[in-house]
Structure 1
């Protein structure tokens, strides 16, 4: 990875409070939902990737990706929920938020791997509930293998330098999943 001298305090998402306030207005979030979104590890990483990677117009990319993320959380489940179409490629679910203009490709890939790790852990943790509620989960169908995905992603996420770990308050365990 590049820029090994980056400091943790530099890993703030510029304009994060502004993004949160605009998301609150646009999606009509309650105060409680706004606090939850403001502290959401996944949302912070989604917004941070274009900034940390040095992409062209990172604000625009962050807004676009956060909007897609919120659209999935707040509606459009008919089209955005996980389906068998997502089974062949782990990154299929992340494809809509994987478009960046320029930037350090290694850092972008590190961010996408971190999001994939969070997603896999979220599906793993919700497998029992999803089964009970009839929600599609690739672990319940046997289409994804948790141990092999976890091993592969662990090797890609927990590396000497992952600029997105500070957004997780030191670990990814506390805030798995999209919501």
Structure 2
């Protein structure tokens, strides 16, 4: 098992163009102002080799954000949330997962079949998350709630990291 990277946010969930995921810029601005380290897998020149780094962050970052917004069908992100969160939680319950799944899609998304599949997947993933009964999964309704909660969880993790020196397994580390 990897080492927990305290104070590191993994910004997963809805990707796409800046118009499709403007939440990323807003979150990065707030995190930057606070000196909080984060990983954003969205980049213009993403290559298959980048999957290794994404997987590392998904496995080791202290706080994982998974907003599935209304801006895209989100089928890839919904699959990722369903599989990745469960796998990551089974391996490590010292981390926190904040999930937002918009219930409706933007009107600009007009492929009937994809809309139907997306709505079905969104409802299923939300219900499964609600049934997990794990105290490190938080399902929020808005991006504002997600941002506020992520900062509060960061502050808690930062305070708790002061006790890492007493952990004989040295599992909690600050990423350098």
Q: Shared fold (TM-score greater than 0.5)? A: no
Higher helix share: 1
TM-score by length of 2: 0.28
